[in-house]
């Protein structure tokens, strides 16, 4: 395995290469550090899927994630691996906002560009790319071209919270190790073309003691969970060499709405019915990590693993407008990753809506909108509160309130911590006029 790299350090800005979004086609990926402080952009030219024996000009830019401005003074370590083997490392220390190199890869397989110790912190990001091959076979409907019987260690990817990606291209665009919900699903994809033995069959891996897949979960307020072999991961199609399993983080028993009643429809660590629909459930606490480990060889023992981090979040409420007329339908949006896709039958989730003229207000329930895809709505009038119509006066402030009882360990913005049984009022405001 070999690579040649020509170092190019840019001290001036480079004209845009017309990359519009994060995709293989456009040659542009964006990722964020787990602390939300840095936005890292990777661009390459020529764009499209990378291929062996082709010169690529690759650029990395670090931005302030909040202001979107490039940082002129920054540093990081860059490590390049291919098929789980280290190729080269570089150290970026300069007053240039852009770090660029020319790369030439001679072999096909998975290439990882790993940026670590960003600005002398413990933050890191990992950009993964697939290099194709002229000897590869294109498999219909998979979005992936694989080289048969490729050697080297397998690689595991986590394809993002609730993204349901089953191709590498889609997984590249959504993959992350951080910011998963304690309740929800993630697709793990294992790139293992060496285990693609029969080009006419959809095969499985990890379903025996000799090559078992293991799921484990560690949390700060919940017992350690481990699940041994289930039925194994399924190949995404004949001759792909890609094996997928959809894992559900099932949460744990908790009073999620602050009504004093323990909600017991969460949790469970067990095998499920189908790798594609749901491979397994594993309990998740308030903050921690779920790890998938595959023992792909037993003599000698060799394993590969991937961990994803999850945590509780503070919910967000927003009115669609800052000012409404009394004749308007008033709408607000809500999102809390902790409650995302938790069914309406699991517990009562509702919002209190009130005004300066009527502090008792009305109650809005999520109902079938428990995925929060649509805005919630209500009306107002100047006479009396009835049903979902709230009484207001000219110039009133209208409030919508949600009691968030799944709070993160700490709020870095304000510098304080929450207990795991604490609730907090999340409130959004708007104004109404009556003339």
Q: 60-92 pLDDT, tens per residue?
A: 888 887 677 888 788 888 999 887 788 888 887
| 316: DSSP letter | E
Residue 144 pLDDT more than 70? no
Query: Residue 38's pLDDT is what?
Result: 84
Collapse the DSSP code of 169 into the 3-class scheme (helix H, G, I; strand E, B; otherwise coil) and give the result: helix
Could you confirm whether domain 316-433 is CATH 2.60.40? yes
Q: Which two tokens stand for residue 7?
A: 């170092």
74-90: buried (b, 16+ CB within 10 Å) or exposed (e) per residue?
bbbebbbbbbeeebeee
pLDDT in tens, 187-208: 999 998 889 888 888 999 998 8
Burial 98-114 (b: 16+ CB within 10 A, else e): bbbbebebebbbbbbbb
What are the backbone angles phi and psi of residue 209, rounded to the nearest 5°? -65, -30
When pLDDT is averaged across residues 206-231 and rounded to a whole number, the result is 92
d(CA 213, CA 161): 20
Residue 135 — pLDDT band, cuts 50, 70, 90?
very low
Q: 1-134 adopts what CATH topology?
A: Immunoglobulin-like (2.60.40)
Task: Kindly give the pairing relationship between strand 323-325 and strand 424-433.
Answer: parallel
Mean pLDDT (the chain) is 84
Which residue bears the tokens 């339908």?
Answer: 329
Given a contact cutoff of 8 angstroms between Cβ atoms, the answer to whether 242 and 142 are in contact is yes
Between CA 361 and CA 363 the distance in angstroms is 7
Q: CA-CA distances (angstroms) from residue 303 to 17, 116, 145, 390?
A: 40, 23, 25, 60
Both structure tokens of 337: 């990753």
* Residue scoring higher pLDDT (30 or 379): 379
- Using the predicted structure, report yes or no on whether residue 249 has a pLDDT greater than 60: yes
Q: What is the pLDDT of residue 95?
A: 60
Q: Which of 305, 273, 272 is nearest to 289 (CA)?
A: 305
Task: Output the pLDDT for position 299.
Answer: 80
- Nearest Cα neighbor of 88 from 59, 111, 60 is 111
Q: What is the pLDDT of residue 220?
A: 86
Q: How far apart are CA 25 and CA 46, in angstroms?
A: 10
DSSP one-letter code for 180: B
Which two three-digit tokens encode residue 36? 């939300």
How far apart, in Å, do the first and last CA atoms of the chain sit?
74
378 pLDDT above the threshold of 50: yes
Mean per-residue pLDDT, 379-395: 96
What residue spans in the chain does CATH classification 2.60.40.1930 cover? 1-134
Is the predicted pLDDT of residue 355 greater than 60, yes or no? yes
* Residues 280-301: tens digit of each pLDDT: 999 999 999 999 999 998 888 8
- Tell me: the pLDDT tens digits for 15-41? 333 223 456 677 888 887 777 788 888
pLDDT of residue 121: 86
| Backbone φ and ψ of 206, nearest 5° | 80, 15
The whole model's pTM is what? 0.71
CA Rg, the chain, in Å? Answer: 25
pLDDT over threshold 70, residue 9: no
């Amino acid at each position: 395995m070999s690579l040649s790299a020509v170092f190019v350090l840019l001290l001036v800005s480079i004209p845009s290469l017309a990359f519009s979004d994060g995709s293989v086609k456009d040659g542009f990926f964006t990722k964020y550090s787990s602390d939300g402080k840095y936005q890292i952009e990777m661009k390459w030219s020529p764009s499209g899927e990378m291929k062996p024996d082709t010169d690529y000009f690759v650029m990395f830019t670090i931005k302030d994630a909040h202001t979107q401005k490039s940082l002129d003074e920054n540093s990081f370590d860059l490590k390049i691996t291919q098929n789980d083997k280290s190729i080269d490392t570089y150290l970026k220390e300069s007053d240039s906002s852009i770090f660029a190199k020319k790369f030439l890869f001679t072999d096909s397989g998975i290439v990882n560009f790993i940026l670590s110790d960003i600005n002398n912190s413990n933050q890191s990001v990992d950009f993964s790319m697939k290099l194709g091959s002229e000897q590869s076979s294109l498999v219909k409907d998979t979005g992936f071209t694989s080289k048969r019987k490729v050697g080297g260690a397998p690689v595991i990817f986590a394809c993002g919270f609730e993204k349901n990606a089953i191709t590498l291209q889609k997984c590249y665009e959504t993959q992350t190790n951080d910011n998963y919900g304690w309740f929800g699903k993630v697709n793990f994809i294992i790139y293992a073309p060496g285990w693609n033995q029969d080009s006419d069959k959809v095969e499985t891996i990890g379903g025996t003691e000799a090559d078992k897949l293991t799921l484990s979960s560690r949390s700060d307020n919940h017992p350690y969970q481990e699940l041994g072999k289930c039925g194994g991961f399924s190949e995404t199609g004949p001759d792909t060499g890609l094996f997928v399993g959809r894992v559900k983080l099932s949460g744990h028993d908790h009073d999620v709405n602050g009504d004093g009643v323990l909600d017991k429809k969460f949790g469970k660590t067990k095998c499920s019915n189908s790798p594609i629909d749901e491979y397994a459930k594993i309990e998740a606490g308030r903050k921690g990590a779920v790890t998938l480990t595959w023992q792909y060889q037993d003599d000698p023992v060799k394993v590969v693993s991937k961990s994803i981090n999850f945590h509780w979040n503070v919910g967000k409420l927003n009115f669609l407008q800052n000012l409404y007329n009394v004749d308007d339908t008033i709408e607000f949006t809500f999102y809390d990753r902790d409650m995302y896709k938790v069914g309406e039958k699991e517990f009562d989730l509702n919002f209190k809506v009130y005004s300066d003229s009527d502090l008792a207000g009305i109650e809005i329930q999520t109902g079938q909108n428990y995925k929060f895809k649509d805005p919630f709505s209500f009306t107002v009038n100047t006479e009396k509160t009835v049903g979902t119509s709230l009484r207001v006066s000219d110039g009133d402030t209208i409030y919508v309130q949600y009691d968030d009882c799944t709070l993160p360990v700490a709020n870095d913005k304000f510098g304080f911590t929450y207990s795991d049984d604490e609730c907090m009022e999340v409130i959004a405001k708007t104004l109404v006029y009556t003339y």
